[in-house]
A and B are shown apart, each in its own frame.
Chain A
Amino acid sequence: MSDLAPGTPARLFRARLLPTVAVAAVIAAVVLGGLGLDEALAAPSAGTLDIGASLTITAAPGWVLDSAADSTTSGVQLRKADAILTAQVVDQTYSGDSASIIDEAEKELTGATAQISFGDAHHSPINGHDTTYVSFQATVSTSGRSGVVDGEVIAMAVGADAVLFELAAPQGRLSSAVDDVTAMLESVRVGR
């Protein structure tokens, strides 16, 4: 009997190949298609922005100016998905170190937030600028809703400018923003 006769294994294998290929194609479209399309689409970016009078920062791909930002903030507020980064110059005639800036920031945040706890401070220069950072977890309430956010406060002494960065994201979603923020900290430059 021919191997291609009806009901033979080879014919059945071929008949069942088509639906299997269809399933594989759907999985590939969801996974590889998503990865490929994401790679192909250019991420919007806020580009290079001024912080204070003499510093600039370059937003990483996907980070845009936050439309919901408080307009009175003297700095910039960037957003990507549900992560928010604010950057502002807190002192333009600063002579101390970044650890002191962090201490002040911790006190201010503790006073302004009902529940907040900080981790240990770490010192790690970035591009030669004195930098200290500390992680925190806080419970925040807005409009009757509350939630837990994870975040980092980063202080950088750039010349005479004391710069403070605050990164926050809903609990468990901070890690995806950390690499971007590191790149943005490395992009801080003096002069326009």
Chain B
Amino acid sequence: MSASMEPGTPPGAWAGGRPAWGVQASLIQPSQPAFWLYLTLLAIGGYLFIQEQSLMSSLTTAWLLSWALVIAYAVPVAVIVYRLDLFEREPKLVLAAAVVWGAVIATSMAAQANDAWLSILSKVASPDLASQWGAAIVGPGVEETLKLAGVVTLFLIVPGEFDGVMDGFVYGAMVGLGFTVVEDVSYFITAVAAAPGTFDQSGPVFDTFLVRVVGGGLYGHVLFTGLTGLGFAYIATRRSVAWSARLWRGGLCIVAGVAAHAIWNSPWMEDILATSGGADPGTLQWLEYGAVKGLPFLILLGLLVRLATRSEEEAFRKIVAGEPDPWVITESEVTSLQSLWSRRAARAEAGRTRSPAASRALGKLQAAQIEYAMIRSRTDSQTDPALEAQRHKIRAIRSEPAAWPAPAIGTAPAPAWIPTHLVPRGGIAAWSTPDAAHGPVTVLPERTELIIMAWTGNWARVGAENGWTGWVDGRLLAPRR
């Protein structure tokens, strides 16, 4: 178990210059005061949330349709955010807690606070200012504070899960997703309630869905809180960076998240939505409006996530470095594991050039290699039994008929051929399958250089430099010095 598992170890601790990825913490942490804060706020927010939803559900059709639409939007977004975390995927229960914070706690609190602060703005400034700019001033201040408080609370409950900047993005985006889902339902129902007559409950829901989700779905709370969460994680986890620099850079990300929200809520650039004769703006107008106000921040977030991913790639390289067996993971495989796209491309290439089974075998191999890195991250011993078992699993996958024989799994070129063993004096018999019931197919001459590719019991699958492979009694092989 790594040092980061020990109570009192600073959050996000790295063991031996590597992140402790292989540790998955539970959300249930009664010893953490923040856990009790979470539960208390959940009880308060949950009560307000149920009241609000009960009220909305009186418009049954609109309410059910609203939830169906937002869930159809939220599920793929959640999957994308989850999978963007390339190596150490966050515990699902903690991620669910992030979504619940956004959906239940932050929305309920914001509903109370937004009205109060809008009223304060109206009183201390002017009703006109509150009318025109209230949403841009109050909304980001109140909502981003409450959502970021969720990320900070989760950090205080499970500090070990915040290994890097990427984790802050993931938890922030999940909080934002929960918030946007409930806020959207509220907007849909309000649109129905405000429409004259109550005959058509679905029309206003679809209209509002087009505007808020299709037109502006990319630029909402997932973006805002993704940025603020990323900034917070930078401050909290980049302990190798000077405190002032951390505060400055992380603070800028948080400001960017709040600014993105403020600009989105501001009345700027509403000319794009102008129509003749008082007609509703078209979907294209909403798309253009959304792109102009939100795209720059989305691009910024994309760049920051890319940087965070690169940092994770470096960490992954550090973790798997020094593996003595080249058939556990090769340099080219490390490279191909570094993005979802390169992983997918490698599998597609295997499927195209060899067979669908080879593609599936490569998928299993990639998963096993990532799991191997998780185990390596929590142990300093190369001979840890769990690590040995994972190595064995990887060798077994490589020895599957679907995945072998082949020059190398994946698109990457074969690793440099470095023999590890020699045929002993007198030569040894070799078989085409690890089955003594069949006769040997050849006898390998002594001092032939070989590499061991897989083990099955005492049987070793060996390869020669000329590409020949076969099975021998591995106990007879002499290590090459």
Contact = CB atoms under 8 A, between A and B. Distances in A.
Tell me if chain B binds chain A. yes
Interface of A: 6-7, 9, 12-13, 15-17, 19-21, 23-24, 26-27, 30-31, 34-35, 37-38, 41-44, 62, 64, 67-68, 79-82, 114-115, 117-119, 135-137, 139-141, 144-146, 148, 150, 171-172, 174-176
A16 B34 contact: yes
Contacts of A150: 194
Nearest to B132: A82
Interface stretch (B145-153, B424-432, B463-471, B472-480): B145-153
Among B113, B115, B194: residue with most chain A CB under 10 A: B194
Among B120, B152, B197: residue with most chain A CB under 10 A: B120
B204 to A, nearest CB: 9
Contacts of B25: none
Contacts of A67: 128
Contacts, number: 139
B120 A119 contact: no
A137 B196 contact: yes
A23 B153 contact: yes
Interface residues of B, number: 51
Given A12-B31, A23-B156, A41-B124, A171 B278 contact: no
Interface stretch (B240-248, B267-275, B317-325): B267-275
B134 A171 contact: no
Interface string B238-277: 0000000000000000000000000000000011011101
A30 B109 contact: yes
Contacts of A81: 118-119, 122, 127, 130-131, 134
Given A19-B156, A20-B37, A146 B122 contact: no
Among B124, B134, B195: residue with most chain A CB under 10 A: B195
What DSSP secondary structure best describes chain B's contact surface? helix
Contact of A145 (B34, B196, B270): B270
Contacts of B33: 13, 16-17, 20-21
A136 B156 CA distance: 50
Given A30-B146, A38-B119, A146 B196 contact: no
B123 A44 contact: yes
Contacts of A7: 6-8
Among B119, B128, B145: residue with most chain A CB under 10 A: B119
Nearest to A84: B131
A78 B58 CA distance: 33
A118 B37 CA distance: 48
A27 B146 contact: yes
A47 to B, nearest CB: 15
A110 B31 CA distance: 66
Nearest to B40: A24
Contacts of B109: 27, 30-31
A62 B196 contact: no
B185 to A, nearest CB: 13
Contact of B149 (A6, A23, A41, A172): A23
Nearest to A134: B196
A26 B149 contact: yes
B142 interface: yes
A16 to B, nearest CB: 5
Given A12-B31, A30-B109, A145-B271, 7 more contacts: A9-B7, A20-B34, A31-B113, A38-B116, A62-B127, A79-B127, A114-B278
A172 B278 contact: no
Nearest to A136: B196
A173 B393 CA distance: 61
Nearest to A35: B116
B122 to A, nearest CB: 6
A80 B197 CA distance: 26
Nearest to B8: A7
B278 A118 contact: no
Contacts of A30: 109, 113, 142, 145-146
Nearest to B105: A27
B278 A141 contact: yes
A181 to B, nearest CB: 15
Contact of B37 (A24, A171, A176): A24
Nearest to A27: B149
Contact of B31 (A13, A64, A118): A13
Shortest Cβ-Cβ A-B pairs, 8 listed: A34-B116, A82-B131, A20-B33, A38-B116, A172-B190, A114-B278, A139-B278, A119-B196
A137 B145 contact: no
B117 interface: yes
B116 A16 contact: no
Given A26-B149, A31-B113, A172-B187, A144 B274 contact: yes
27 contacts: A15-B8, A20-B33, A23-B152, A27-B41, A27-B146, A27-B149, A30-B113, A31-B112, A34-B116, A34-B120, A38-B120, A42-B123, A67-B128, A81-B118, A81-B130, A81-B131, A118-B196, A139-B279, A141-B278, A144-B271, A145-B271, A146-B275, A146-B279, A148-B280, A172-B187, A172-B190, A172-B191
